[in-house]
Amino acid sequence: MQAPYPIILGISGSERAGGNTDLALDYAGRLVRERDAEFRTIHLRDHLISPCSPCGDCNLRTTPCELRDDMSAIIEKMKEADGIIYAAPVHGFGLAHLMQIFIERAGVGFLRFERPLANKVGGIIVTGRRYSDASVHNQIVDNLLLNRMILVGSGFPALLHNTSPEPQLQDTEGLEALERMVHRMVDMIHLLRSHQAATGKPALPPDDRNERTARPLRLLAGAGDTH
């Protein structure tokens, strides 16, 4: 049953409690709550999330990953949400390892079977000192698109810079992008929910065929010509 109010789940991939990523996600949560929506937060550092094991059967198995950790419970919370914000810092010119491990395990071990995140609204926050934030953002964009989520644009990506050794939200332009992203996420969720309430049907088809299912080969017209 659909909740009477929108639910947005924020997932923090930062190892540092109270750091820039947490501050940015907390700010996003305040904005969501001001719109009379519910904001829930998962800090990956507080959960047992094992890296992919050497079993090597991820691309062959037809059932979810059997490693015993907190992944399946987190996936269930993602399924309950109308929208998900992925928030992560840049570490070593790339995506912080907690979020990297998480998206690998989530995608290959759980989400690829039925694509349960399809048509959920997605947002991304990346924090960093100065470099490689756009590359990290692009990687998470690809992950959201792979899961067939609705990526809401805000004009500019929510990339927040801080060159100070102390955690703080000092990037005015980054915060403006974050604000626009959050408000557009809530607006899109309301739009999707309103359509379903009025018609009794989802605004977008939920049963998109899994891309791993073999499809018949379609020859282009004239492809067999030997002129």
CATH number at residue 59: 3.40.50.360
Intervals of the chain under pLDDT 50: 227
Look at residue 107 and tell me if it is in a domain: yes
Look at residue 204 and tell me if it is in a domain: no
Q: How many domains does the chain have?
A: 1
Residue 169, both tokens: 């939200």
For the chain, the 3-state helix, strand and coil shares in percent, each to the nearest 5, are: 35, 15, 45
Tens of pLDDT, residues 47-97: 999 888 877 777 777 888 888 899 999 999 999 999 999 999 999 999 999
At 227 the pLDDT is 47
Q: Other CB atoms closer than 10 Å to residue 45's CB: what's the count?
A: 14
Q: Return the H-helix or E-strand segment holding 89.
A: strand 83-91
At 202 the pLDDT is 86
Look at residue 101 and tell me if it is in a domain: yes
At 65 the pLDDT is 81
Look at residue 63 and tell me if it is in a domain: yes
At 213 the pLDDT is 62
- Whether residue 19 contacts residue 38, with contact meaning beta carbons closer than 8 Å, is answered with no
- Whether residue 168 contacts residue 23, with contact meaning beta carbons closer than 8 Å, is answered with yes
